[in-house]
Each structure stands twice: as C-alpha cells, then as structure tokens.
Amino acid sequence: MAKLRDWIRRHQVVVFFMIAYGITWGLSFAYDAVLNNEQVLLAPLAFLAFCGPALAGIIVTAICDAEPIRGRAGSAWGAFLLAWVISAAVYVGANRLLNRTPLSPAFVGFAAVAVIPVPIVISRAQSSRPAVRAYLSSLIRLRGVWRWALLALVLFPGLILLSIPVTGLLGSRSGGGRQFPATGLAFLGMVVAKFLYQCFFFNATGEEVGWRGFALPRLQSRTSPLIASLIVGLVWAVWHLFGYRAEGQPILTWQFWAVTLALHLPSSVIIGWLYNRSRGSILVAGIAHAAGNTTIDLLQPNLSWAFYTGTVAVGALVLVLVDRMWRKLPLSHPVGTVVHDRLALALPIRTPGEGVTQQATPAKGVF
C-alpha cells in the first residue's frame, strides 16, 4: 500500500487523468439514459459523471496529503448542508424557468437527491485535510479576484458576440435565429438561471476544479503555461467523448475532432490565462467556462462555428503573445509557489543509506 501511495504521489497528473476518465466514462450510461430514454432517476449518477474531474482531483490530493488532519468535521458538514440547499435551489429554479417543470414536493425531493455530488465537491473546501482545503479554497473565494471574475464573465460572451457581425461582414450566413421564450427581465432571469446551472452542475464544480484547479498548475511546474494549457485542452476535449456519443455526434469522423480540438485548445489557453492571472482561482476559471457555454446555448442558431472558432483562436494568440505564455512561470508566481509547497509536502523521499526522510522537489514527482 505504501508503494502504491508513493507511486501515486510521483505520478499525480497521470493518476488524476485515469480516475477522471474512469469515473466519467464508467457512469456515462446514466447520461445516455437520461438524455435519450428520459430515465430521470439516473440523474444523480449523471451529475456524478460530470463531477469526474473534480472528484479525481480531490481523491489524488487526499492520497498525497502528508500533513496531519486538522480542524473539525462539523465545518465540512455545515458547508455541505449550505451547498446542498443552494444547489437544490439552483436546480429547481433553473428547471422551473428554462424547462417549465411544475413545482411539486416530488420534484423538490428528487432535486435534493440529484444534486448531492455538487455539495460534496464544494464542501471539501472546508475539509479537515489541509491539502484538500487549500486546493479547493479558491472555488468559494471571490475576495481579491472579483475584477478577474468580471472579465471571465464577459470574455467568452464578447468573443462569441464579436464573431456574429464578423460572419455577416464576410458574407457568410449563420442560422436563422432563435426565438426566445421571454424578453426583458424574464429573459435576464433565464440567462442567470442557465449560467448558475452551468456553474454548479457542469463547468465550475464538475470540470474546472479538476482541469484548471488540479492538472494545470502541476503541469506548469514542469513546462510553460502554453504547453500545459494545450495538454489540458487535449485531455479535456477527449473527455467529452461520453457526451458526444450520447448526443449522436459524428465521433468517428476526423472532421468532427478537427473542429472540436480547434475550439477546445484555444479555449483552454484562454481559461488557463485567466486562472494564472487570478492567482490560481478555480472560481474565475469556472465563471469563464460557464459564461461561454451559456452564451453558446442561447445564441447557437446565430453562430457560425468556423468564425467563432477563429475568433477564439485569435483571442488566445493575442494572450499568448502579450503574456509570453511560452515561458515557464517563476516559482515566485502565486500559482507556482502554492503548487511547489503542496507537492513538496506530498512527496517524502529517503536519503539513500541514511534512512532520513526528506522532501522531494515537485519537478520529479508530478507526472
């Protein structure tokens, strides 16, 4: 067991990817059943599948935590109950506004059960394990990063909206337009509901906790933000295979994967830039991800995917050039410093011939 733990400590990113894929793809049948066969009772497992990256990051961090347990379990339970109530309220409110689901005791009870994976992830920010608590603390902290959160809120929507007039100016036609079921304040309420739904059940707590919160900083300890973001983008794109298959996408064609990678790779660079600029804020990364998906869902019939992908690619290129993302982050960078400290604590080694336990450098124990 000790050898296995030591191997995991030295190959954290690899193990993370394996667990994330294992959880998500292993439970992909639930998403397929909910989407195509209306087996709504499997919704809790479907949400658990979407939380695969987050759960993988928590599991690996807990295994690698070399510090003693601190604090009381009561704070984690309190955080769980609060997150549970908020998550259930978001689920009920979003379904009421977006899907016109009738409000009933049965529906509220179902929502309370279905959302459980989400408060499990959020409550780990109050974990008694120091490494897990430090890892997830930025998920629930807006203080100090609210400016970056505002930028994250508008960056992808701005690129999406910019691609629409560009499409028109270049003479290309987009879809025939979408008829929204509401206007004014009612429409604003729908946008907020959709955004919160994306944040809670998919993008922030499910994905970004893992992709940017766990994998990216560890990869950046060995390579540049650009290369690390591209690696995460590749794994992130392929991870969606379970959803693409359930949705009937042409996953066996090279054209589909060319378009998918052309969108995910520059998007990963942009979200990675926001994560680093916000001093490693998972919340900022999650806001950017959810804002982009919300806007796409609302405007999709008006979008030309080719022009939108091109706009995102240009935006990513500008950030790469301006921020020199091909250079490694210095250890003095907030993201680099935090990861260095955590990995050093997680990687005990023995000096040959002396039997004295020392701390390993993270550069030798990440992949």
Supply angle C-alpha 175, 178, 181, rounded to 5: 175
Per-residue pLDDT, 361: 42
For 188, half-sphere exposure in the C-beta direction (CA atoms, 13 angstrom radius) is: 2
Helix (H) or strand (E) holding 156: helix 146-169
Name the residue type at position 237.
A
pLDDT at 355: 41
- pLDDT category, 133, cuts 50, 70, 90? very high
Q: Specify the range with the lowest mean pLDDT, choosing from 175-189, 222-236, 337-351.
A: 337-351
Helix, strand or coil for residue 359?
strand
Q: Which domain holds residue 358?
A: 2-364
Residue 262 to residue 356: CA distance in whole angstroms:
49
**pLDDT tens-digit map of 348-362:** 433 344 343 334 444
Q: What is the mean pLDDT of the chain?
A: 87
How many domains are there within the chain?
1
Q: How is the chain split among helix, strand and coil, in percent rounded to 5?
A: 75, 0, 25
- Residue 308 is predicted with a pLDDT of 87
Neighbour tally for 184: CB within 10 Å? 7
- Give the 3-state secondary structure of residue 15: helix
236-259: pLDDT as tens digits: 999 999 999 999 999 999 999 999
